[in-house]
Structure 1
């Protein structure tokens, strides 16, 4: 057996590479709807990352079906709400990860790496996530309430005639 093979077989395993807080927040802000930040932190075995991806796909199917008028409206709304939940939770994840103190971040995601020093880019991404996430949440609630009350008015008109 060659000496190089013996050395590599007895070498100590490398410590886990640390995860960047800025990269995680940026992934949650930009691509969080499909769970890319979860894949970055937990790999392909992260069940919530797959839930993000499935909810985003369901949302796309629901919105497209509503636009074309295909399928059951209740099922289309259910799918669209699942997609909206994925979008809103991605912005919430960006806020939560961005506001986590650096020492707690290092203890969980960067135990052997250099200490994390969050700067202004993380703060700006958290602020943008808060603005966009709350705006989308309020818009979704307004559309949902409007649709509900319009359907109630139509049902009342049908009963009165």
Structure 2
């Protein structure tokens, strides 16, 4: 059985990945998928898919500002933005609450070990506050418009 050269065994598996930086990237730009690109590289296809629903959600907000609350397309598009922001906050929380040993085993197996500080805790707290508010607003918006459509459909049937 052949063994790999000694230089190959000592080569680092990849660049150092900071849990603090990953948490804050997810908090600030996670709806665009930048946290996935930071952790998994430029070839991560899921990271490249994040901007599509985020952009559609922003387009829905712009439509509602332009055409008012009666625009049905904006009713469908705005929750996409809320869900993308909510999932980004969830990822920030998950990154921040991952134990340092597990983080190092997954992202820094051959490099320097990462030790968390207060910046991660503050990031998790901010992500929890923003994520909860955005998720509740998204659910309220979606359910409100769903029931408005049901009432409108019932009125059309009764006429």
- SS of 1:44's equivalent in the other structure is coil
Where has structure 1 moved over 6 Å in runs of 4 or more? none
Indicate which of 34, 40, 51 corresponds to 1:36. Answer: 34
- SS of 1:45's equivalent in the other structure is coil
Return closer, same or farther for 1:150/1:74 CA change in 2, 3 Å cut-off.
closer
Indicate which of 111, 114, 120 corresponds to 1:113. Answer: 111
Q: How does 1:81-96 map to 2 (within 5 A)?
A: 81-96=79-94
Aligned partners of 1:27 and 1:37 also within 8 Å = yes
Residue 128 of structure 2 is matched in structure 1 by 130
Unaligned runs of 5+ in 1: 1-10
Residue 53 of structure 2 is matched in structure 1 by 55
C-alpha deviation, 1:74, in angstroms? 5.4
> What is the CA–CA distance in structure 1 between the aligned matches of 2:43 and 2:90, rounded to whole Å?
22
Aligned partners of 2:16 and 2:108 also within 8 Å = yes
Aligned partners of 2:83 and 2:138 also within 8 Å = no
Residue 158 of structure 1 is matched in structure 2 by 156
Which shows bigger deviation, 81-90 or 37-46? Answer: 81-90
CA RMSD of aligned residues (A): 2.2
Unaligned runs of 5+ in 2: 1-6
Greater C-alpha Rg:
1
Aligned partners of 1:17 and 1:112 also within 8 Å = no
State the aligned residue count: 149
Return closer, same or farther for 1:135/1:67 CA change in 2, 3 Å cut-off.
same
C-alpha deviation, 1:77, in angstroms? 3.6
Residue 7 of structure 1 is matched in structure 2 by none
Using structure 2 for the length normalisation, give the TM-score.
0.82
C-alpha deviation, 1:81, in angstroms? 2.8
- SS of 2:50's equivalent in the other structure is helix
> What is the CA–CA distance in structure 2 between the aligned matches of 1:153 and 1:17, rounded to whole Å?
56
